[in-house]
């Protein structure tokens, strides 16, 4: 086929890779290639079959170089919602995604794919806490301050709490609408340590399911700009970053006080002791609540199995070392002592320009 455009080229490569890996016949491949060629020459684009979409979304996960959780790439639940064309339908399907993925705590890795190019979800994650800048300092999640301001501009009523779940902001064909999430679909875990009782006054909690909604899914030259996907948490994301970073909830000083540590002397490693206590509390609390979570040692072990499996099959292993090593005790994992090819193959998930 004279490759008249970049899209033809990328479509060609994807269909070949997909039909090869799915063991399709030569006839199927030939027929599909000429069909795709026709669609592109006639309309300038082409439509994936549901099978191609499912394969593409799974392989995009397998190609995500920053992800430690890729062992389970083939078990992704792919929900094809490319036919929806109103804000309300999209909102209802996002609520269904949250319920299906949460599954009362037995988290199911899931992605919902909307029509390419004309849908955007403005949220970073479907469930995330608001952040506020007040005269007395910050309240809530500082990472959400800018988006929270946007929601207030769009008519959202701020509650100025520490853990206010943000509304969904859905853009369709250039029109943006705001939707509140019903409390009952948001599963949260109260975080208390297995040891220290004084933690309780800190009244800590976090939401159960991380659902990334601001990245695009690129398959064979087609960009799905709204394709929210979730897995389950690795404990350090909550305990070593979201609740610990001094530009996030910055809780280590309070944790250290609750542990009656001497915080006047750094070389006593009080920050490290507080981190350990907080991270064991996160893992313990999620497990006690029956919510899926993985510790960073187990996750690294699973990633090692992923590497071994990919090697056996003869596929390249790609990874981004600085993201794959966990923020807590990284040198205790094999990842720390390895090097990885950072090449970003497609299909893949990519950052996209902010819609606001």
140 interacts with, out of ligand H49, ligand HEM, none, CB within 5 to 8 A per kind: none
Q: Of the two residues 234 and 324, which places its CB atom closer to ligand H49 in the complex?
A: 234
> Which stretch, 27-35, 148-156, 227-235, 298-306, contacts ligand H49 (CB under 6 A)?
227-235
Of the candidates 67, 156, 270, 307, the residue annotated as catalytic is: 67
Give 296-341 as a DSSP string: HHHHHHHHHHHHHHHHHHTPPPB--HHHHS-SSSGGGSGGGG---B
Tell the residue number behind the tokens 């090692």, with chain if given. Answer: 304
Q: Catalytic one among 32, 62, 70, 120? A: 70
Select 40 or 211, whichever has its Cβ closest to ligand H49: 211
Listed in order, strand segments (DSSP E) in 173-249 are 175-179, 188-191, 204-207, 211-212, 215-219, 222-224, 229-230, 233-234
Report in angstroms how near the CB of residue 294 gets to ligand H49 at its nearest. 9
Gap between the Cα atoms of 298 and 70, Å rounded: 13
The rounded distance, in Å, linking the Cα atoms of 30 and 32 is: 6
Active site residue 151: no
Our finding on whether 230 is near ligand H49 (CB under 6 A) is yes
Q: Which of residues 232-261 bind ligand H49 (CB under 6 A)?
A: 233-234, 237
Q: Considering CB distances under 5 to 8 angstroms, the limit depending on partner class, which of ligand HEM, ligand H49, none binds residue 132?
A: none
Residue nearest to ligand HEM (CB): 231
- Alpha-helical (H) ranges within 22-143 are 26-43, 50-62, 87-102
Q: Is 67 a catalytic residue?
A: yes
Catalytic residue among 51, 237, 301, 344: 237
Annotation marks residue 237 as catalytic: yes
**Residues 6+ positions from 65 with CB-CB distance below 8 Å:** 318, 319, 320, 323, 340, 342, 343, 344
CA 62, CA 93: separation in Å to the nearest integer?
25
Binding site for ligand HEM (CB under 6 A): 61, 64, 66-69, 72, 76, 109, 111, 229, 231-232, 234, 237, 294, 299, 323, 349
Give me the residues that bind ligand H49 (CB under 6 A), please.
210, 212, 229-231, 233-234, 237
């Amino acid at each position: 086929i004279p490759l008249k455009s970049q899209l033809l080229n990328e479509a060609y490569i994807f269909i070949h890779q997909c039909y090869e890996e799915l063991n399709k016949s030569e006839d199927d491949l030939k027929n599909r290639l000429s069909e795709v060629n026709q669609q592109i020459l006639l309309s300038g684009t082409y439509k994936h079959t549901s099978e191609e979409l499912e394969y593409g979304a799974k392989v995009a996960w397998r190609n995500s170089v920053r992800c430690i959780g890729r062992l389970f790439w083939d078990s992704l639940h792919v929900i094809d919602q490319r036919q929806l064309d109103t804000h309300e339908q999209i909102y209802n399907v996002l609520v269904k995604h949250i319920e299906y993925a949460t599954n009362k705590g037995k988290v199911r890795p899931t992605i919902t794919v909307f029509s390419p190019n004309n849908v955007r979800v403005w949220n970073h994650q479907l469930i995330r806490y608001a952040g506020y800048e007040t005269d007395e300092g910050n309240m809530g999640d500082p990472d959400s301050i800018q988006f929270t301001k946007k929601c207030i501009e769009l008519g959202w009523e701020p509650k100025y709490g520490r853990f206010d779940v943000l509304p969904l902001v859905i853009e369709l064909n250039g029109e943006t609408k705001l939707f509140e999430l019903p409390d009952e679909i948001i599963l949260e875990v109260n975080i208390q340590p297995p040891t220290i009782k004084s933690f309780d006054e800190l009244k800590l909690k976090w939401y159960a399911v991380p659902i990334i909604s601001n990245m695009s899914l690129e398959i064979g030259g087609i960009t799905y700009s709204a394709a929210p996907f979730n897995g389950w948490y690795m404990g350090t994301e909550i305990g070593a970053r979201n609740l610990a970073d001094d530009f996030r909830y910055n809780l280590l000083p309070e944790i250290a006080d609750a542990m009656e540590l001497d915080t006047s002397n750094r070389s006593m490693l009080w920050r490290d002791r507080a981190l350990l206590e907080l991270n064991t509390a996160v893992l313990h609390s999620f497990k006690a609540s029956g919510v899926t979570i993985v510790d960073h040692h187990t996750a690294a072990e699973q990633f090692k199995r992923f590497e071994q499996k990919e090697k056996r099959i003869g596929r390249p292993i790609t990874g981004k070392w600085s993201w794959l090593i966990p923020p807590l005790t990284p040198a205790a994992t094999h990842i720390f002592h390895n090097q990885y090819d950072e090449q970003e193959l497609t299909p893949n998930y990519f950052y996209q320009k902010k819609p606001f």
